[in-house]
Structure 1
């Protein structure tokens, strides 16, 4: 039986058959009387609708089950291989592409594919080629692929398909341009929000309804679950946590402003801090492999910290202190039940986790933070991939987030 989707589902569609399909997809197999009771539809009507879905190949009869008396009822559930959804998780240095079936099982994972994210036509077209190559290699029937979800960092309008941080070369939606190149419906989403959605649905969230997911990577952002629903804000840009004006410094943020949290708490800030220390004369294991400071990346620093490099550990701890201060502010504002930490920086474990926790305890209101549980992501690097697939699946099922 499929694991229930724990995020509240609100259906855009008024088609009762599609609502039944979505309910079975998100809550698992059940009998017709049980399905009718949960959806407040008569059993004869449910029977007609389910038979229609069976004729389309979307629902299967999984056989009789034991009952306390009378005729044994049949168990109905989605046909897992009736529909597939592709997710594309785009990072600064690699992309990952996955294929999810209707029953929320990841059927294929490309692993990390080398890629340089840049705001160029060449970078965009290489992304499209990766997607088309992935589709060409699939063994499933191509018509069963119902859509492609692409995660990008920065400002994404998921409703219109526009990206305002990458590949914004003309007025047309990026989703429309990519759709023309790959031949399948395309949906864009902010990478942190997709990671959050994957974690909310299949990861660390249990019964919590108010949850914050922190993506700690080259940038910093937060995915917000409010009363069981993913929160987008008025224009779809909610969650730009890294651009809170926190510091009185002269560092220019990637958004063009000064003093943002990201200027002293994100992966790109870690690179700047590390390079500055090397130029000032500090020593590190990294310089034996990469003598030129300008070529040192966040991934190099993380690798060095895991190998017990003192400078890397010290700077990551400093980063954790700054991140924790920011999270404390979020806790004071939202009073969440659960805060989930995810992203590449979390691979340094306690080196960043303990300073974050210490700063949260130091700067948050105890009456508020005492009700908040702090955990690490369960899905890790698969969070964004799964979130992208699930959000496309929602479109197919007519579920509004």
Structure 2
């Protein structure tokens, strides 16, 4: 899908130059016309004209004179933060998180943990419409200022066409077009793990690293891959199905329809299944003291139990961590990354998960390879997805990469 930030007037070439100027400000912050001219290799008179047009478009602002080593003091120009907004929607199996950022990529509003049951039905899609529409209304800005909406879904997403092949694939039209026709704002679809990785790459724990793996550890597990500073999609856009590596010889049926997947033994689904089994066997836990039926125990209950130093929950997180680490060791041997980030809701257990993961990486990966790989926890935490979705939309609208 090719949709860019909208300008009141101007030729295609002129508007592309404007996008280049806006893109520079978005990435580098405030600057002067001489510096902008030098960095973009565009003459000072041309840059001056472009900046003046963007000021008229109410996207840029003159922030006043700054000190210089000699001659006339140059003016400092920068983006007007509230001139445009982007919305990120993170759709999980049991909840929805929505956030909005301004043109400076500042998170200005968040609605988290909205109750939701992700089903592949028209009713489930209609509830998603309602949540997005209500959030836009509550945002309190003119709808024309909301330039785009990024929606994260799990499973097979073709980000280029806007098709989802795992959820809401009811007709041949791209899901992004269907939602856009309902909401009235350009919509971009992305796989949830890649969007979370994108957020962490741009606003989280990543600094100068160019080769990075981001693990989305939730009910399912997947990986977002950064190679030489760019997200790796693969031929069809489906790269990163980490949870479906066939690492176990078991009879457990995975959600993908196959047996033996890493996800059957090392995911939130697996953790929940194992925890319920232990409760049925008579194991004690702070969860059982709450008189919750074992079949009604969910991943979030177990994560809360970990933070209450529950022995059973901690033991099972360690077991899950060891298996995840074994899978990550394979990725390290293949990709030789600089950085591996543990993200998603399971990463909310912190070092209870990180330590067994690190131990397994040391045990199963080649020392010569993993010596240069650092393992860290996500900095953005639960907000990685909405931040990533907003940045993805902003970069698409500004034709940034």
Q: TM-score, normalised by structure 1?
A: 0.94
Deviations 1:340-364 (A, max 9, x none): 1111111212221110010011111
* Residue of structure 2 equivalent to 1:350: 351
Query: Are 1:166 and 2:154 an aligned pair?
Result: no
Q: Partner of 1:366 in structure 2? A: 367
Q: Per-residue deviation at 1:13?
A: 11
Could you say which residue in structure 1 is the equivalent of 2:6?
A: none
Q: Could you report, residue by residue, the CA deviation over 1:240-285 in whole angstroms, capped at 9, with x for unpaired residues?
A: 1111111111111111111111110000011111222223333323
CA distance in 2, matches of 1:396, 1:62: 24
Q: What secondary structure does 2:196 align onto? A: helix
Which runs of structure 1 show a deviation greater than 3 angstroms over 4 or more consecutive aligned residues? Answer: none
Secondary structure of residue in 2 paired with 1:88: strand
Give the Cα separation in 1 of the matches to 2:15 and 2:133.
Answer: 33
2:36 aligns with 35
1:89-100 pair list within 5 angstroms: 89-100=90-101
How far does the alpha carbon of each residue in 1:45-68 deviate from its partner, in whole angstroms, 9 at most, with x for none? Answer: 111111121111111111111101
Matches of 2:375 and 2:175, distance apart in 1: 36
Partner of 1:177, secondary structure, is helix
- Mapped contact 1:225–1:231 kept (Cα < 8 A): yes
Give the corresponding residue for 1:4: none
Match of 1:114 in 2: 115
Per the alignment, residue 179 of structure 1 pairs with 180
Instruction: Kindly provide the CA deviation profile for residues 157-194 of structure 1, in whole angstroms up to 9, marking residues without a partner as x.
Output: 11111111111122221111111211111111111111
In the other structure, the counterpart of 2:69 is 68
Offset of residue 291 of structure 1? 4.3
Report if the CA contact (8 A) 2:350-2:377 is conserved.
Answer: no
Residue 3 of structure 2 corresponds to: none
SS of the residue corresponding to residue 265 of structure 1 reads coil
Shift of 1:14: 8.3
- The answer as to 2:47 corresponding to 1:46 is yes
Structure 1: any 5+ residue segments left out of the alignment?
1-11
Q: CA RMSD in A?
A: 1.5
What is the distance in 1 between the residues matched to 2:334 and 2:190?
25
Structure 2: which 5+ runs fail to align? 1-12
What is aligned with 1:263? 264
Q: Do 1:86 and 1:149's aligned partners in 2 also have CA atoms closer than 8 Å?
A: yes
- Contact 1:13–1:399 (8 Å) recurs in 2: no
Name 1:389's counterpart in structure 2: 390
CA distance in 1, matches of 2:337, 2:274: 32
Distance 1:306 1:69 in 2: 59
Moved more, 168-177 or 13-22: 13-22
Q: Which residue of 2 aligns with 1:322?
A: 323
Which stretch shows the higher mean deviation, 23-32 or 13-22?
A: 13-22
